[in-house]
Each structure stands twice: as C-alpha cells, then as structure tokens.
Amino acid sequence: MTEKILMAEYKALSKEPWTNIELVDENIFEWNVALIPVNPESAYYGGYFQAKMTFPKDYPYRPPGFRFTRPLLHPNVYPDGRLCISILHPPGEDAMSGESASERWSPAQRVESVLISILSLLDDAETSSPANVDAGVLLRKDPDAFKALVRKDVEASKKDMPAGFIMPTHESAFRKEEEVHNFSWSDSEVEDDFGGSDSDEDMGFDDEDEDMEADDSESE
C-alpha cells in the first residue's frame, strides 16, 4: 500500500511547476526533489534548490527524510543540508521541544504538505533556536548582508537546473483552482492511477512488503 500511496503523490506533484521531482534509480522510496521559490520578494527567489527525500517502509505512519544537497544559508538548515522543521519530526507530543502533535508529522500529511512548509520556512525563519547559529545571528543583526550571501547560494543552485528547464514565475507557478486534481488516497483513485491493476504482483511487492502490510493491519 505504501508504494501505491507514494506513486499517487509522485504523479500529482509531477504536475506542479514549483517543484521538479524524479525517482532515484526508479526507487519509489527515494526522490530527487527541487524546490523553486516563486515569491519575487523572497531572498531565495529564482533558486533551484535540489534535495533528496527518503521514505520509510511504513510511510505515511512515519515522516520522510529531507536533505538539501547543496549548502544553503538559512537559520533552520544544518550544515549537512538537513532541516529543523516540526513537520518532519515523528508524530506525537514532545515536551522537550515544546512542539504539539498538531505541528509534527501525522499520517494525514503528505509530501506536498512538507514541501510547501519548507518553502514557507525559507521566508519565515525560526531564529529562537536555529540549526545554523551563525545564519540566525546574521539574519537578526544584518539582514542585508544575509540576503547578499543567500543570493550567492541562489546562483550556485542554478547549476543543478536540468537543460531546457523553464523557471516558473510567480504568475505561472500555480494552476487555476479548477485545474487542480482533487488528490485522494482512496483505493479507487489509486487503482485508476495504475490502470485498474491492484495486485501485489503488478505493484512489485515482495514477501517482506506483504509481511509489513500484515503487521500494519494488525496494529490498526
């Protein structure tokens, strides 16, 4: 079931102009993802920020992993490209961090929610407990110097842009509401996405996957 959910999400996101995604070696559990800020007032506007997403076998019960593959100056981005963002933290309350369950990952979330949250975080940094302390201090004390350094990261990010890729503008980035596919995880829609085939053989499930599905059903 996890593979079907991820493939349906992958197909839906492939239609979005503000991101560019592809599977790594045709592995549905590993994606190359580019985030493209389209807010012209953003310091990150015009960037093509490549990242890697990895998904656990029990997705969506646990969150995906996310890591930028190029250095990116931001208070909430660690030097290795990982993010400090609540939506990627495991489900449930966390008294130590002060995060409520509603801020953290839940099975109702999906990849689009994560990517939109990251785009929002780029322009609305949390500087009270930064992952990159130097970036947080610079943003507070000298925003102009911070933006100048960010622009260097923006220009460097364009080296990852595929040949022929057309950078979306603010106007072209979002489809009209009536064109947006009403995404659902219902079995009927997932079945349609795969041409009516829903068998384990067609989906490429192995015995390990079947055992995992059985465990999931028992836990529910």
> What's the token pair of residue 210?
């079947």
Torsion of CA 149, 17, 27, 111, to 10 degrees: 80
Quick one: which of 198, 167, 158, 145 has its CA closest to 8? 198
Q: Can you say whether the dihedral through the CA atoms of 196, 197, 203, 205 is positive or negative?
A: positive
State how beta strands 49-54 and 27-35 pair: antiparallel
Question: Could you count the other beta carbons within 10 Å of the beta carbon of residue 114?
Answer: 20
| 16 counts as catalytic | no
Residue of 84, 125, 131, 138 marked active site: 84
The catalytic residues are 84
